[in-house]
Amino acid sequence: MKKLPTTILKDENGRDFALTNLLGDYWVLHFYPKIGTSTSTMQAERFNELFEEFDERIVAISLDLPEVIALFKTKHRLKFKLLSDVKMELASQLGIVKNGRLSRSTFITDPWGRIRKEWFNVKASTHAKQVLEEFKKTIEEDLSINPSIFQRRAFRGLRSEPIEDEKLLRLIEAAHLAPSCANKQPWRFIVVRSREYLGKLHEALSGGNYWMKYAPAIVVVYTKDEFDCQLSENRNYALFDTGLAVGFLLIQATQMGLIAHPVAGYDPVKVKELFDIDGNVITLIAIGKWGKFDQLNEKHLEAEKSARNRQELSQIMKIV
């Protein structure tokens, strides 16, 4: 995604204004080729009317000198900040200058400085309203639960067709991006996808996890206290950090349209022996595509269709 440059412009008082000041919030940046014209005035007035609805997060940029924009601001009682880009530095970086002329453009930026929406050669009369709609929609979408978190389920209806190695690697890459105490990265993964090793691993599964035999890949996850921070009051972070990594893997799998279902129902001694593991095998994760159900028992078939079941928030949290 395109990023807002970190240019330093002049404000209407001639003071430096670094665009990094816009990080951490959503902003609308709109450009005027030249202020004082009837079109620019109309554009400014329309944005000004909606200033509060934009939560006051509007900035205007023009190619005029600071003293010129200061006059324009006073004359039209503009509530938003005006910035001067006399050298077209920002405008050029944003690619809105053609043959020395600036296109009347608008950008929505997000807290990370990413440009989420852009308009070029806009119509001044109706544009501000259109931008407001998009501004609200962008914030609303970002406030919703991440779609992959929402979509993820511990489903069991796995298809046995193989998953490409690149996809399996991508899952591990995502897990490996998890945070860990002092960046110790205590997680260890064995991606099992050969028929030979899958067969041996199946012997370690508990009866209730029969459905995992259809998984084209199973990730063995292990760690060891010594791999991570061991702090006072029994705060050994190996399990915690490895759990975070597993969480990341599950979310990445969901985004990629795959099931990733972690289980605890297996014989850890057998798994340790099979792979000569020195540590705690904390989970096996079945990986595969969804959509085959005839291998499932009735209880599991029902679970595939059931709604997600969670306690009320009030039972697991409080705000003080």
Write out the residues near ligand FMN by the rule CB under 6 A.
153-154, 209, 262-265, 283, 308
Burial (0-12, 13-18, 19+ Cβ within 10 Å), 287: buried
Burial (0-12, 13-18, 19+ Cβ within 10 Å), 237: buried
Question: What is the CB-side half-sphere exposure of residue 81 using CA atoms within 13 A?
Answer: 21
Which CB, 100 or 207, lies closer to ligand FMN?
207
Which CB, 62 or 283, lies closer to ligand FMN?
283
Which CB, 90 or 263, lies closer to ligand FMN?
263
Question: Do 100 and 15 meet the contact criterion of CB atoms below 8 Å apart?
Answer: no
Strands (DSSP E) found in 251-315 = 259-263, 280-290
What does the block give as tokens for 264? 């605890």
Kindly give the interhelix angle for 124-143 and 38-49, rounded to the nearest 10 degrees.
Answer: 40
- Ranked by CB distance to ligand FMN, the top (closest) residue is 265
Distance CA 67, CA 11 (A): 9
Instruction: Find the shortest distance in angstroms from Cβ 306 to ligand FMN.
Output: 9
Instruction: Find the shortest distance in angstroms from Cβ 249 to ligand FMN.
Output: 12
Q: What number of residues does the chain have? A: 320
**Dihedrals φ, ψ of 82, to 5°?**
-115, 135
Which CB, 258 or 263, lies closer to ligand FMN?
263
Which CB, 7 or 283, lies closer to ligand FMN?
283
Pseudo-torsion of CA 289, 295, 298, 299, nearest 10°? -50
Instruction: Find the shortest distance in angstroms from Cβ 157 to ligand FMN.
Output: 12
Task: Give me the amino acid identity at 298.
Answer: E
Q: Closest by alpha carbon to 278, among 200, 239, 222, 229?
A: 222
Which CB, 84 or 209, lies closer to ligand FMN?
209
Which CB, 112 or 150, lies closer to ligand FMN?
150
Q: Residue 98: left (phi > 0), alpha (psi -120 to 50), or beta?
A: beta
Instruction: Find the shortest distance in angstroms from Cβ 90 to ligand FMN.
Output: 46
Instruction: Find the shortest distance in angstroms from Cβ 275 to ligand FMN.
Output: 19
